[in-house]
Chain A
């Protein structure tokens, strides 16, 4: 295995007027070359903030501690100028809404070429040529023509392809995609997920897919990290978590997800709602919604612990989860 990113004890806090909110707590994980890691959770789980902090893109009241090692280099606390040389080159990030990430007043080719000029020292003519080649690789028809378009002249799916092309221009080791297909139609989403698979295979890029959609995860991820209330609660191989979940929250998410092949079966949702980070429950944050909760869960927070087979979970309950209803 070739570890491209090693995250240790990553925490993110936001200073509010009279208090402080911890959005991410003691996150530990590694990312291997060419693999796809899905980071799954609902609103407020900390899944996006964790990766924004690694990219140095937190809001101004945000503070990061811990380490995010890209090779020998720790990205946490790095000076902005130094970070600028790495971002976009070794590690890139794309977002849900490509329109807000693209500059509306510049042609596609100008925005793409800039990346190559800045990070790889290309002269402009060659950079434009290279940019058009990359547009073709990500499946944009008539790339030379589209390169002359402005972002608003392209559809949502096309814009997301442009973002992916931009992210891949420097052949980064890591691509972080935050809900990249959530705004897209299902047919375009399928094309996109296909593209991600090709990219990790062909470029050896490691992909972090941040999503709430377990259907998307099942199709592309090698490993999963499930987050709740700012903490990782279960980690392991995708198949293991889908077919044999060990954390009640993972089980609850699976039971809440409708499957296109089934009907009339009542969904078995998790009761209640995701907690507010300003007011996290004592003990295990999930305990008020958990059907397997017992005394210990109310007082003590379970640590993320290895349970064999490369899996980890943060839960005191040791009995079988299958067959028991969640709440």
Chain B
């Protein structure tokens, strides 16, 4: 990375709420899934998004792809605001933005052949291609993801989870996108297969010059694939930094707690770690705590954390952190983090 990287995506003040039914006859409630989301995705990088269930990571991925419409804010694609794009223009743009889902079998139509599944995006997004051209392209992509040409006429149920995920990846790649949002792409797979798919994604990223947004609850996996990592808590960004910075010197107490909770496949290290396990569980996004939303589980919280919400500030090297006390909190020892 010699020259300054171009921003492929810029997210500005994004907010997304859902209206949900209240308990029996009471009025509807508003769940704020995301608020004050500001960050950029650089061309060619892998940006990891981590957080616990319900933190808004999948919602964020879907808002970027315009599969969900944000309530407020902008999603700038090379400077163009996707949220204001007319439907027809957005449809054309979709060839550039694709997604891979967690459950590979559930995301493939059981009544279509592998060839038709992979070719499907081409029918709508590249209507100028004829049947022969589509087939040629499908076969080329199948080879790239490690599927054999003779599999083209088979149906999804004939495949294992790992192979089904390869089909999902091929479908995402076939329109030659610039960005792929990977939403927990390996969580449902066996350990040995998970490693194969992670390696495949890394190879494809180089081969096709992709930018990846990698959403996962598994910090070891995110660490392995990401250049930069964004940490979400209750719908807000609490920290954004490079993988090395996050793992070597986490600034936000939540990032730090997440890291110390990750199990490490190393018994001696596991015994050394004094796990400062987070107390309790993630609060309800319907009625989040005042001030800093993390304060109810934070061992560094002070009374003023309940009064004022910390802003997301830029610290050294363009890192972002949202904590009143980040300056005062020492960086934990290496052993704690498993370095």
Chain A residues with a Cβ under 8 A of chain B: 42-43, 141, 155, 157-158, 185-191, 193-194, 212-219, 238-239, 242-243, 252-264, 266-271, 273-274
Report how far A320 CA is from B257 CA in the complex, Å. Answer: 39
Query: Within B152-209, which residues are at the interface with A (CB < 8 Å)?
Result: 160, 162-163, 190-196, 198-199, 202
Q: Is the CB of B267 within 8 A of A218?
A: yes
**B270 CB–A CB distance under 8 Å:** yes
Kindly supply a per-residue 1/0 record for chain B positions 262-283, scoring 1 wherever the CB is within 8 Å of any chain A CB and 0 otherwise.
1111111111000101101110
Q: Is the CB of B262 within 8 A of A215?
A: yes
Q: Is the CB of B193 within 8 A of A260?
A: no
Report how far A215 CA is from B218 CA in the complex, Å. Answer: 11
Q: Is the CB of A274 within 8 A of B192?
A: yes
> B151: which A residues are within 8 A, CB to CB?
none
Q: Is the CB of B275 within 8 A of A256?
A: no
Partner of A273, one of B160, B202, B259: B160
Q: Is the CB of A187 within 8 A of B52?
A: yes
Q: Which residue of A lies closest to B263 (CB)?
A: A215
**B221 CB–A CB distance under 8 Å:** yes
Report how far A190 CA is from B263 CA in the complex, Å. Answer: 8
Q: Which residue of A lies closest to B266 (CB)?
A: A218
Report how far A274 CA is from B190 CA in the complex, Å. Answer: 9
**B42 CB–A CB distance under 8 Å:** no
Q: Is the CB of A187 within 8 A of B258?
A: yes
| Max chain B C-beta neighbours (<10 A), residue from A185, A193, A266 | A185
Q: Is the CB of B258 within 8 A of A267?
A: no
Partner of B263, one of A213, A256, A263: A213
Q: Could you tell me the distance in whole angstroms from the C-beta of A180 to the nearest C-beta in chain B?
A: 13
Partner of A187, one of B269, B278, B338: B278
Majority secondary structure, B binding face: helix
Q: Which residue of A lies closest to B267 (CB)?
A: A218
Chain B residues with a Cβ under 8 A of chain A: 52-53, 160, 162-163, 190-196, 198-199, 202, 217-221, 223-224, 226, 243-244, 247, 257-271, 275, 277-278, 280-282, 337-339
> B244: which A residues are within 8 A, CB to CB?
263
Q: A185-B282, A187-B52 are in contact. Are A242 and B266 (CB under 8 A)?
A: yes
> A267: which B residues are within 8 A, CB to CB?
195, 198-199, 224
Q: Which residue of B lies closest to A184 (CB)?
A: B53
Q: Is the CB of A253 within 8 A of B247?
A: no
Partner of A257, one of B217, B265, B278: B265
Q: Is the CB of B192 within 8 A of A252?
A: yes
Q: Could you tell me the distance in whole angstroms from the C-beta of B194 to the nearest C-beta in chain A?
A: 7
Report how far A74 CA is from B260 CA in the complex, Å. Answer: 43
> A213: which B residues are within 8 A, CB to CB?
191, 263
> B224: which A residues are within 8 A, CB to CB?
258, 262-264, 267
> A141: which B residues are within 8 A, CB to CB?
280
Partner of B261, one of A42, A186, A261: A186
Q: Could you tell me the distance in whole angstroms from the C-beta of B321 to the nearest C-beta in chain A?
A: 19
Report how far A66 CA is from B269 CA in the complex, Å. Answer: 38
Partner of A239, one of B195, B268, B282: B268
Q: Is the CB of B258 within 8 A of A186?
A: yes
Q: Is the CB of B199 within 8 A of A242?
A: no
In addition to A262-B223, A274-B192, 11 A-B residue pairs with Cβ atoms within 8 Å of each other are A186-B263, A212-B191, A216-B263, A238-B267, A255-B195, A257-B195, A258-B198, A260-B223, A263-B226, A268-B195, A274-B190
